[in-house]
Structure 1
Amino acid sequence: MGIFAKIQRHFAQKHLTDPHYQFLFDEHAYPNEYVSFDCETTSLDVKEAEIISIGAVKIRGNQIMTSESFYVLVKPEGMMEARNVTIHGLRPKDLSHGLPIEQALQQFLAFVGGRPVVGYFLEYDVAMVNKFMKPMLGIHLPNRQIEVSALYYQQEMRQKYYDMVVDLRMASMINKLKIPDLPRHDALNDAINVAMMFLALQGQSQHK
């Protein structure tokens, strides 16, 4: 971890408003473990969007622990955009018994612990978590973040000329990595897809 990241984590730890969540800073408690996660939301605008589902799965060593997966539906406070319903398939009535976002995040954070988080275009998902986490705990998600599209890009560029274009669409990455493609736009399936990509990229880098 770089010095800037360490400073950020130290700053966050000092501003944590609920000491119960100190476990978020203990990465060493989970050696060689990660959590892949994904959020489905009511829109792609972070300022307006609400989280409607969170899916996550633990990665331990070179195994995806599907038996230790996490999935929760969240009841949004506002209206969902109709065009988004066609993407994730979650209708208002599907979410009528969902958890309040605070309760959903409490469960999600307990599942993640201090493990690094892995994702595909993770910046958006983390921004959505931060949007609701900051009012709850006074901090943003402090966990180390690993972006699979960045890992994939770095690996591809080692094999290409500097001016080549790298296709970072999830479907293209999955096809190139030769891994199964679970139905997408489901938070848990997307989290498992990302976990498979992460392990495939790790495996390829170890054989170079």
Structure 2
Amino acid sequence: MNLFRWLNPSKRNVAPELTAEQQLRLRALSGPGVLDQRTLRQQRWVVVDVETSGLNLDRDEVLSIGAVVIEDGAIDFSQQFERTLMRTDHKLSPSVLIHGLGPSAIAAGSEPVDALLDFMTFVGDSPLLAFHAAFDEHMLGRALKESLGHRLLHPFLDVAHIAPFICPDANLRQAGLDDWTRFFGLHAEERHHASADALVTAELALILFSHARRVGIESPAQLEQGLAKWRRQQQVHSF
């Protein structure tokens, strides 16, 4: 570990040391695609969930990443991603009671640089979906910046916002993932596991895309624009 960074945890802009192979992989990563007028069905989406050492946005770390792909209007089970990231200085914390990732599992995980390169290669230029996406986006963005010096620029849409926007009559505006899965009759085999949470979020997203088409939202661009308008309305109503 870099001693200076350990003594000065706020100094996160120190350039990471990458091998020549890792540098090549980093340069080969796809840039973000644009949410355009192709149909929701035609768009490849990557649905992601992360488990972390805690909820502190500045200090806690990404411990595992799970992701599935929605393509051609269905979950493509041939395209799944799961990595536990090795954290040699990881200590037992209350979050273990939620996600079950103890120190031994973390110590046996993948080297963070390689795991994050694998993830971004898996993502390609696809937009990302998550439930309560701001947290996942921030934690992934910070991990990519600290480990790779890479800035996360991909569109990141929040299924927790899409749901009440598309289904206002459900009256579940502040609902969590469990609330929406119950509302639509979905069954989650397991929760608070990155891959399982990504899968149930993908199932929810597919239902919401179907409802979106019924109200005239046909494309990712229309969805993004509608969400932006909906968020502005929520801010006005909150005052």
Specify if TM > 0.5: yes
Q: 2:129 aligns with which of 118, 131, 138?
A: 118
Q: 2:196 aligns with which of 189, 202, 205?
A: 189
Task: State how far apart, in whole Å, the 1-side matches of 2:123 and 2:45 are.
Answer: 8
Shift in alpha-carbon separation, 1:26–1:205, aligned structure 2, 3 A: closer
Q: 1:169 aligns with which of 168, 176, 191?
A: 176
Q: How many residues align?
A: 186
Aligned to 1:14: none
Gaps of 5+ in 2: 1-22, 216-239
TM-score by length of 2: 0.71
Aligned to 1:154: 165
Matched letter for residue 201 of structure 1:
L
* Segment drifting more, 191-200 vs 125-134: 125-134
Q: How big is the shift at 1:112? A: 0.3
The 5 Å alignment of 1:28-39 reads: 31-39=42-50
Shift in alpha-carbon separation, 1:178–1:139, aligned structure 2, 3 A: same
Aligned to 1:3: none
Aligned to 2:210: 203
Task: State how far apart, in whole Å, the 2-side matches of 1:54 and 1:74 are.
Answer: 8
CA contact (8 A) 2:92 2:103 kept: no
The 5 Å alignment of 1:69-80 reads: 69-80=80-91
Task: State how far apart, in whole Å, the 1-side matches of 2:89 and 2:56 are.
Answer: 14
Q: How big is the shift at 1:140? A: 2.4
Please list the CA deviations of residues 159-186 of structure 1 after superposition, one character each: whole Å capped at 9, or x if unmatched.
37xxx66242111111112222231110
Aligned to 1:133: 144
DSSP 3-state at the match of 1:68: strand
The 4+ residue runs of structure 1 with deviation greater than 6 A are: none
Give me the CA root mean square deviation: 2.2
Q: 1:20 aligns with which of 28, 40, 51?
A: 28
DSSP 3-state at the match of 1:79: coil
Aligned to 1:44: 55
CA contact (8 A) 1:75 1:96 kept: yes
DSSP 3-state at the match of 2:126: coil
CA contact (8 A) 2:88 2:107 kept: no
CA contact (8 A) 2:61 2:143 kept: no
Q: 1:62 aligns with which of 73, 81, 84?
A: 73
TM-score by length of 1: 0.81
Q: 2:154 aligns with which of 115, 123, 143?
A: 143
* Segment drifting more, 189-198 vs 139-148: 139-148
Q: How big is the shift at 1:149? A: 0.8
Larger Rg: 2
Task: State how far apart, in whole Å, the 2-side matches of 1:144 and 1:64 are.
Answer: 19
Q: Percent identity?
A: 24
DSSP 3-state at the match of 1:134: helix
Matched letter for residue 59 of structure 1:
I
Please list the CA deviations of residues 14-53 of structure 1 after superposition, one character each: whole Å capped at 9, or x if unmatched.
xxx95322x123458x951000001101011021111111
Matched letter for residue 174 of structure 1:
T
DSSP 3-state at the match of 2:94: helix
